[in-house]
Amino acid sequence: MSVESVFPRLEPLLPSVSKPIQYIGGELNSTVKDWDEAQVRWALMYPDAYEVGLPNQGVQILYEVLNEREGILAERTYAVLPDMEQVMREHGIPQFTVDAHRPVSAFDVLGVSFATELGYTNLLTALDLAGIPLHAVDRTDDHPIVLAGGHSAFNPEPIADFIDAAVLGDGEEVVLAISEVIREWKDEGRPGGRDEVLARLAASGGVYIPKFYDVTYLPDGRIEKVAPNRDGIPWTISKHTLMDLDDWPYPKKPLVPLAETVHERFSVEIFRGCTRGCRFCQAGMITRPVRERSIQTIGQMVDNGLKQSGFEEVGLLSLSSADHSEIGDVAQQLGDRYEGTNTSLSLPSTRVDAFNITLANEFSRNGRRSGLTFAPEGGSERLRKVINKMVSEEDLIRTVAAAYSHGWRQVKLYFMCGLPTETDEDVLQIGELAKRVIETGREVSGRKDIRCTVSIGGFVPKPHTPFQWASQLDHETTDERLRKLRESVQSDKRFGRAIGFRYHDGKPGIVEGLLSRGDRRVGSIIEAVWRDGGRFDGWSEHFSYERWAAKAAEVLEGTPVDLDWYTTRERDYDEVLPWDHLDSGLDREWLWEDWQDAVDPEGATEVEDCRWTPCFDCGVCPQMDLDIQIGPTGQKLLPLSVV
Amino acid sequence: MSNDGSRTLEGTPNPEAPNPQLPIVQKLRIRYAKRGRLRFTSHRDFGRAFERAVRRAALPIGYSSGFTPHPKISYAGASPTGAASEAEYLEIGLTQRLEPDTVRERLDEALPDGLDIMDVVVATPGALADRLEASHWRIRVPELPIENARQAVSAFEQQDEILVERMMKRGPKTFDIRAAVVSLRAESDPDEAACAILDLVVRHGTPSVRPDDVLVGLRSACGLATGQTPVATRLAQGPLDPETGTVGDPLAHDRDAS
């Protein structure tokens, strides 16, 4: 039975909502497949506004991988803005896909990619608008399987009540495997209904079905254990790792929207994984091992992506792009290829060394040398050792001197506030560092107009990192430290305007902390906040800390736990963490030792990068029977085909 | 080609500027349509989509010099977001001469369906914007009785001034719409009986009178019933024939010259 488009009902309402272009679809390279010819149908959601969600690489890749397969169909849906939500409720229009405007409830799977926990309330809006019961236990065979992926899915416990399933890690292969299981089950006439298909998915050990696990608690509120509650369900669930990125050169057909979005460029992932070992960085920990794309595949993807999209900028993405074993050749050869073409290249530049300046120079042959970004993360040398960000002050000064002497006028520095063992003094060092940067810049360039922008984010401890046991700094102290820092910089008239500050107050970080390290009891808080109107928590104009704090207090009243318990409390070695049954490949013992090395009162011990030094036993490779995949290949970019 | 328009081009490359660019040797005028759901494309959205289409079509587009080179594309008289159009116009500057038909095919292929290239001609001297004197609109209003539409139109014709208010960038502004309206007729929709069609020719000016403004005026001053959300389509844009009150083809002059 075909499913009707809601567009005829939607169209007359579009003139009354803001930016209607975000709801019409029709992007270049988007696909609408025949509904009846597909046996397995996916609605892929990025739970934020279209302008944020459309450029998301994960969704674009899975959309293409799924649609390439015969018998599988994938469409996209995004969080609708509050004005649209209201219009849809008034007119009874369900959550729809932007491709063919089909109701999300008609699909077999609603796959939601969570890059951040702050999209959880938007999931509830989408489910509710779609007419899908919020709680997994209330769903019937007619409802889609609600599947969570993305980095936040490494601890999906706070949304365990609302999702049917979660997958950890790279999605390319597992979405196809899931499709096969669903296809088979449908072919057989859906034996055993919803629970049977979920059980088949769970049996593989690669799909987490929360409702097949019971969580019990100790009298003090800590978790006693997490155990399967039926036969054939594995005790732990493993993450998925795509090997050989050259075999998966997606996106091949990048989506090009009509609407303006947050990233107006074509992005090529030049590697996955990171072994720098920054202890705060969840992305670096959960995406191991390092897997590089070869220089030739990168060159082909850049060429193809530009031709397919018409974008004029290419971003070379990864967690630390300057670490690619052949980045120098990539930069120089791409620089040669696009010299004089009005095509620009960009590299998220965060590595602090002079080599990065060489790269940046290659990438700015055509354009202006406006700003460079570095991420020392910690203000003092001592703190940088604690977080294993091995950058000395001299490295940083040498690097910025090189930047300013090559004509760059502005340097942006990223830091965090609230790191383990941090004191006021560590944070005040950020200001001293910024002053030295300006002094150095003035000296080497002989100019007065150079600037340094300091961006500070609040540190939020994340699951599957050595800091997963850490106490999060309360928001009052965070704000107080940042106030002192600001005062100390502004009181020095020599630098007043040359140093800019960007930071947020500490409150959103506390809610992110609650959602990051929360357990299943946090689900009721999310629901209460959503019922009270909570939406778009990643947007400062919509976010309300007071609402979250009030609902947390309300929901947790009479229990041994509260908001502080989830956030500012340090955990012990033997506490069962909510995500301990979800296996990121990292060895828990190694994580604990690394945590202890970080906070050693004698001073932190640093860990090298296994790209260049021997293995330091984080556990991922042996656990998953993998190895790092790096070059150099010694190859060159292939010449471009003539148009 | 007798006239490539290169004499009228601004932007002689400055060898001192960063990123010196190739000179423009051909200027083309393009008519395009905004159809179906892509009528919700705003002017800015269209600009981005068109620049990308130019690059996908690998046209030898000219760029301005300087730190942030911009492609040589200029737009004339864009329709409001939400209005469909069969007659939007822009000009591009190329660094190599191409057959206009080749450009039309390549651009149309590179644009999403619904943003369609209708016509490409080599520009002759004189500003295109000066030739866009008036617009011919067709406004379809579902669930509006035709009798009511006819009465409202005749009430409209009997007035010398009809003031409407519109939100501008600097706040609400009240202006007359009556003087700019050259003709206004109500017709029934041959396809759907319950639907009225308003045929409107309006002279361009400042502020420009849009179909929405006319509907607002018809409702507030002429007793037009509300009906469902109307859809306006610009059928033509060009020189206004003072005798007949019809809108001509702004590219006729360029086409005749080639």
> In the 8-state DSSP scheme, what is residue A278?
-
pLDDT, mean of residues B174-191: 94
Taking one residue from A and the other from B, the number of pairs with CB-CB distance under 8 angstroms is: 73
Domain-embedded: residue B249: no
Q: What are phi and psi of A169, to 5 degrees?
A: 95, -155
The pLDDT of residue B258 is 75
Q: How far is CA A386 from CA A351, A379, B127, in A?
A: 18, 11, 66
Containing A338, the helix (H) or strand (E) segment is: helix A327-338
**Same domain membership, residue B98 and residue B53:** yes
pLDDT per residue over A248-288, tens digit each?
999 999 999 999 999 889 999 999 998 889 999 999 999 99
Q: Report the pLDDT averaged over residues A105-112.
A: 98
Express as a percent the part of chain A with pLDDT over 70: 98
Distance CA B147, CA A115 (A): 56
B17 or B49, which is more confident: B49
Q: Is residue A337's pLDDT more than 80? A: yes
Assess whether pLDDT exceeds 60 at residue B17.
no
The residue whose two tokens read 């599947």 is A147
Q: Which amino acid is at A514?
A: L
Contact between A256 and B52 using a beta-carbon 8 Å cutoff: yes
Q: Are residues B168 and B70 in the same domain?
A: no
Token output for A172: 């390319």
CA distance B241 to chain A (A): 33
Distance of CA A301 to the CA centre of its chain: 22
CATH top class, domain A7-238: alpha beta
Q: Is the pLDDT of residue A367 over 70?
A: no
Count Cβ atoms below 10 Å from residue A258 Cβ, excluding itself: 25
From the list B18, B52, B81, the residue facing A310 with the nearest CB is B52
Q: Are residues B144 and B70 in the same domain?
A: no
Q: How confident is the model at residue A391 (pLDDT cuts 50, 70, 90)?
A: confident
Query: What band does A480 get if pLDDT is binned at 50, 70 and 90?
Result: very high
**CATH code for the domain of B55:** 3.30.70.580
Q: For position A305, what pLDDT does the model report?
A: 96
pLDDT band of residue A118 (cuts 50, 70, 90) is very high
Tell which residue, B201, B234, B230, B216, has the closest CA to residue B76. Answer: B234
Domain-embedded: residue B255: no
**CB of B167 closer than 8 Å to CB of B199:** no
Q: Quick check: is B220 in a domain?
A: yes
Regarding whether B50 and B115 lie in a shared domain, the answer is yes
Is A335 within 8 Å of A363 (Cβ atoms)? yes
* Residues recorded for chain A: 643
- B19: which chain A residues are within 8 Å (Cβ-Cβ)? 342, 366-367
What does the H/E/C string look like for A443-475? HHHCCCCCEEEEEEEECCCCCCCHHHHCCCCCH
**A545: how many CB neighbours lie within 10 A of its CB?**
16
CB atoms B37 and A264 under 8 Å:
no
Q: For chain A, say whether B96 makes contact (Cβ under 8 Å).
A: no
Average pLDDT over residues A215-223: 98
**What pLDDT does residue B162 have?**
96
**Of residues B153 and B2, more confidently modeled:** B153
Indicate the residue of B40, B63, B110 with minimum beta-carbon distance to A21: B40
Helix axes A424-445 and A393-405, enclosed angle (nearest 10): 30
Measured CA distances, B82 to A51, B36, B74, B119 (Å): 19, 10, 21, 22
B20 CB within 8 Å of a chain A CB: no
Whether residues B182 and B91 share a domain: the answer is no
Query: Which residue, of B96, B129, B162, is where some domain finishes?
Result: B129
Distance CA A25, CA A11 (A): 12
In percent, the amount of chain B with pLDDT more than 90 equals 77
Last residue of a domain, one of B100, B129, B158: B129
**Closest CB from A260, A307, A342 relative to B56:** A307
pLDDT at B67: 72
What is the CB-side half-sphere exposure of residue A529 using CA atoms within 13 A? 31
How large is the angle between the packed helices A82-91 and A120-130, nearest 10 degrees? 20
Q: pLDDT digits over A614-624, tens only?
A: 888 898 998 88
Q: Which among A25, A260, A310 is the nearest to B110, CB-wise?
A: A310
What is the Cβ-side half-sphere exposure of residue A483, based on CA atoms within 13 angstroms? Answer: 8
Q: Say whether both B121 and B219 belong to one domain.
A: no
B248 domain residue, yes or no: no
**Least-confidence region, from A209-218, A332-341, B101-110:** A332-341
| Residues in B touching A7 (Cβ below 8 Å) | 37
Question: B43 at the A interface (CB within 8 A)?
Answer: no
Residue A311 has pLDDT above 50, yes or no: yes
Do the Cβ atoms of A306 and B55 come within 8 Å?
yes
Chain A positions in Cβ-Cβ contact with residue B63 (cut-off 8 Å)? 342
Interface membership of B37 toward A (CB under 8 Å): yes
Question: Of A265, A197, A362, which is closest to residue A55 (Cα–Cα)?
Answer: A265
Contact A216, A223 (CB under 8 A): yes
Q: Is the dihedral of CA A406, A407, A412, A413 positive or negative?
A: positive
Q: What is the pLDDT of residues A131-185, one digit of tens each?
A: 999 999 999 999 999 999 999 999 999 999 999 999 999 999 999 999 999 999 9
Cβ A281 vs Cβ A377: under 8 Å: no
For residue B65, what are the domain limits?
Answer: 6-129
Residues B10, B76, single domain; the answer is yes
In CATH, the number for domain A265-367+612-637 is: 3.30.750.210
How far is A629 from A245, CA to CA, in rounded Å? 9
Q: Exposure pattern of B175-194 as b/e (b: 16+ CB <10 Å)?
A: bbbbebbbebebebeeeeee
By Cβ distance, the residue of B40, B44, B56 closest to A260 is B44
The answer, yes or no, to whether residue A536 has pLDDT greater than 90, is yes
Rounded-to-integer distance, Cα A95 and Cα A190, Å? 25
**Cβ separation of B40 and A24 shorter than 8 Å?**
yes
- How much is the pLDDT for B8? 31
Q: State the pLDDT at residue A402.
A: 87
Q: What does the pLDDT look like over A398-454, one tens digit per residue?
A: 988 888 888 888 889 999 999 999 999 999 999 999 999 999 999 998 988 889 999
Q: What is the pLDDT of residue A6?
A: 97
B83-110, pLDDT tens digit by residue? 999 999 999 999 999 999 999 999 999 9
Asked if B116 and B144 sit in the same domain, the reply is no
The reply to whether residue A26 touches residue B68, judged by beta carbons under 8 angstroms, is: no
Is B76 inside a domain boundary?
yes
Alpha carbons A439 and A448: distance in angstroms, whole number: 10
A291-292 and A271-272 strand pairing: antiparallel
What is the Cβ-side half-sphere exposure of residue A189, based on CA atoms within 13 angstroms? 0
Q: Tell me, yes or no, whether B247 lies in a domain.
A: no
What are the residue ranges spanned by the domains of chain A? 7-238, 265-367+612-637
The answer on B125 and B11 residing in a single domain is yes
Question: Within this chain, do residues B119 and B10 fall inside the same structural domain, yes or no?
Answer: yes
With CA atoms as reference, the chain A residue closest to B51 would be A310
Is B258 a domain residue?
A: no
Pull the structure tokens for residue A134: 């919020």
H helix count then E strand count, chain A: 21, 18
Q: Is beta strand A451-458 parallel, antiparallel or unpaired with respect to B171-176?
A: unpaired
Average pLDDT, chain A: 93
- Structurally, chain B folds into a number of domains equal to 2
B120 and B160, same domain (yes or no): no
Q: Do the Cβ atoms of A64 and A250 come closer than 8 Å?
A: yes
The pLDDT tens digits for A48-98 are: 999 999 999 999 999 999 999 999 999 999 999 999 999 999 999 999 999
Q: For residues B250 and A465, give the distance between their C-alpha atoms in angstroms, rounded to a whole number.
A: 66
For testing contact with chain A, the best of B35, B56, B215 (most A CBs within 10 A): B56
ipTM field: 0.85
CB contact under 8 A, A11 and B67: no
- What's the pLDDT at A67? 98
Identify from A6, A16, A21, A260 which residue to disrupt to test chain B contact, counting B C-beta atoms within 10 A and taking the largest count: A21
For residue A31, give the chain B residue with the closest CA: B112
Indicate the helix (H) or strand (E) that contains A411: strand A410-417
pLDDT tens sequence across A585-632: 999 999 999 999 999 999 999 888 888 888 888 989 988 888 889 888
Q: Does B19 touch chain A (CB under 8 A)?
A: yes
pLDDT in tens, A566-586: 999 999 999 999 999 999 999
Closest CA to A430 of A497, A496, A480, A501: A501
Which pLDDT does position B3 carry in this prediction?
A: 36
Per-residue confidence at B10, pLDDT binned at 50, 70, 90? very low
Which token pair is A220? 């003090």
Tell whether B79 and B193 lie within a shared domain.
no
